[in-house]
Structure 1
Amino acid sequence: MDNLSGKTAVITGGASGIGRAFADRFAAAGMNIVIGDIEGPALEAALAELEATGASATGVVCDVSSEADMHALRWHAIDTHGAVHLVCLNAGVGGGNGRTETLTERDWAWTINVNVWGIIHGLTTFVGDLKAQDDGHVVITASVAGLTSYPSMGPYNMTKHAAVAMAETLFAELRDDGSNVGVSCLCPGLVLTNIFQSDRNRPEQLTNPALEQIPRSAEDEARLGAMIEIVASQAKQPSHVAELVHDAVVARQFWINTDEDFTPAIHARLDSIRDRTDPPAGENLLSIYD
């Protein structure tokens, strides 16, 4: 997609974080922006900010775990602009954190519903249209955690590995079909977003009261504070990620990595697969900065 001006981009999770930066960047490229986001007030604010810059921006409240909501997002985009050309399946949550044996079915269900079913619903809703017009691009937001695996992040790791697999599968299918539709798989490392506050959108029926009642020691609080400081000092700006994604869409580039900090960990995992050795294990996602 080397000519974006006048075309339409649909962005899930587009009211904040990386998705919000997508909206800014693709609006700057002359695209019509359609945002689907579960947070109504944030959506309204994002649309107002975009419109204030002269951008063509609209959106609907959308829970990506709902197939009906995703269909409504599609119809809104088509009714407004006639067609969709770029689909950014970006909505995601941090998921239940903790050792695997402490997590409940609710922790897994919440993370899978958003991070996996959200992408599945996006693909089944939009890819047929893109193939029919033989023009367009799909961006799937995965994570560096989809290329590596860290302790106490089981649901997030698993769902982001699934996101990578879905992106690779879609790419292979479109290539086999001789389609001109492109695919990119975004695997960001640390980015300054509010993903660590994902629980704000967690459905009541999928909460895990047991985890919430686990007391935090002074050591736990200190560790959390140190992690926040690392994120603040090392994380990339969403605008940096959006620029990389824009360039990848134009160049029809599949893999998008936001920085090189996690490259050694990715290579170590691939080496362990090739050599059939134990997988490398970091203390946590931020241990590379120790």
Structure 2
Amino acid sequence: MTEASDWAGKVAVVTGGGSGIGAALCRRFAEAAMSVVVADVDAVAAADVATHLTEDGVLVGGARAIPIAVDVASADDVAALGEATMDAFGGVHLVCNNAGVSAGGLSWEVPLADWQWVMEVNLWGVVYGVRTFVPLIVGSGGGHIVNTASMAGLTSPPFMSPYSVAKHGVVALSEALYHELSFTHPEVGASVLCPGWVRTRIHEAGRNRPARHGGPTSFAEAGEGDAAASGMGDVVSRLIESGMEPTDVADLVWSAVLQRRFWVFTGDDWIAMAAERARGAFAGMNPQLQIPGVDLTDDAVGPEDTPTD
């Protein structure tokens, strides 16, 4: 357990900090009197967040916010992010490997470029972040690392297998990291964030897709040509728009950091679904499809008209 005051004057790094959960995390840490590195593949968005933190008077006690453009799918970029952070502040104490993208469709039809893009950002980006920043946090006297996974890392919804595969990997990496740090560097805590539906622009992440993975795309193109996949994409977009506010997610993450708590969940409905999945698996049952907020009782994929107990 730590106190909020313990973090004052320390340094946080947030990837995917230019929007959504990442931007909310940057603000939450700044409110705790920390300096913040706003890291994002979108340099303009990162600069925007850093500017607002400064102009809104959020930063106190000499804390600063600096933007750094980074493609977390590049090991060299992430290493450079670590070096730039140390050059600017001389230490780093709290790191959120939060950058993420999405793509989907039928597992056997999803283009390999989509698979590679999602895996490089969502999984390899976290691997690179862990490799770069754990030694720096240790060298700075300790702190905490938060990896953003998803409830799709504990469940396996259809038509989004690249995303789910990557997020399952993040959960596994994070849990192993937690144990490893407990053995070797107990001064460093670890958490995994598994959000459900949150009001972010992750379904628009294709706008920043690099040329090596096919260039910019829209979420609407996922599952194009397959009615069920396309319908699911429409539903996901609506559920994201009506999801939890990123600021509320940031509050949950901050609470977990202070309590040195590993699991960070955002909704009881998803927790119940993951628990039921585990019970069914150990009972030898075939997978049962449930997605909070989605009615899958007929051929049409759509949001629930009425909540069920």
TM-score, scaled relative to structure 1 = 0.91
Alignment match, 1:232 = 241
Deviation of 1:220 (Å)? 8.2
Give the direction of change, closer, same or farther, for the CA distance of 1:99–1:79 in structure 2 (3 Å limit): same
- Superposed, 1:132-147 pairs within 5 Å as 132-147=139-154
| 1:109-148 correspondence to structure 2 within 5 Å | 109-148=116-155
**Residue 142 and residue 276 in structure 1: after superposition, are their counterparts in 2 closer, same or farther (change >3 A)?**
same
Counterpart position of 1:198: 205
**Match 1:258 to one of 255, 258, 266:** 266
Listed as ranges, the matches of 1:13-52 within 5 Å are: 13-52=16-55
Matched, 1:158 2:165: yes
Distance 2:171 2:211 in 1: 29
**Residues 134, 179 of structure 1: 8 Å contact kept:** no
Q: 1:189 to 1:49 in 2, by over 3 A?
A: same
Is 1:108 paired with 2:115?
yes
1:267 aligns with 275
Higher relative contact order (CA 8 A, sep 6+): 1
Aligned residues: 285
Give, in angstroms, the shift of residue 231 of structure 1: 3.4
1:102–1:33 distance in 2 versus 1, CA, 3 Å: same
User: Aligned partners of 1:236 and 1:149: how far apart in 2?
Assistant: 21
Preserved contact between residue 14 and residue 20 of structure 1 (Cα < 8 Å): yes
Q: Summarize the alignment of residues 66-81 of structure 1 with structure 2, pairs less than 5 Å apart.
A: 66-81=74-89
The verdict on how the C-alpha distance between 1:159 and 1:221 changes in structure 2, with shifts beyond 3 A counting, is closer
Structure 1 residues 270, 212: closer, same or farther in 2, change over 3 A? closer
Could you tell me the percent identity over the aligned residues? 36
Distance of 1:65 and 1:100 partners within structure 2: 22
Q: Which residue of 1 aligns with 2:307?
A: none
Matched position secondary structure for 2:135: helix
The aligned residue for residue 8 of structure 2 is: 5
Q: Is the 8 A contact 1:14 1:91 kept in 2?
A: yes
The separation in 1 between residues aligned to 2:238 and 2:169, in whole angstroms, is 29
> Do the aligned partners of residues 133 and 229 (structure 1) sit closer, same or farther apart at CA in structure 2, a change above 3 Å counting?
closer
Distance 1:280 1:60 in 2: 43
Distance (whole Å) between structure 2 residues aligned to residue 223 and residue 107 of structure 1: 17
* Contact kept in structure 2, 1:50 and 1:57, CA below 8 Å: yes
Alpha carbons of 1:225 and 1:164: their partners in 2 closer, same or farther (altered >3 Å)?
A: closer
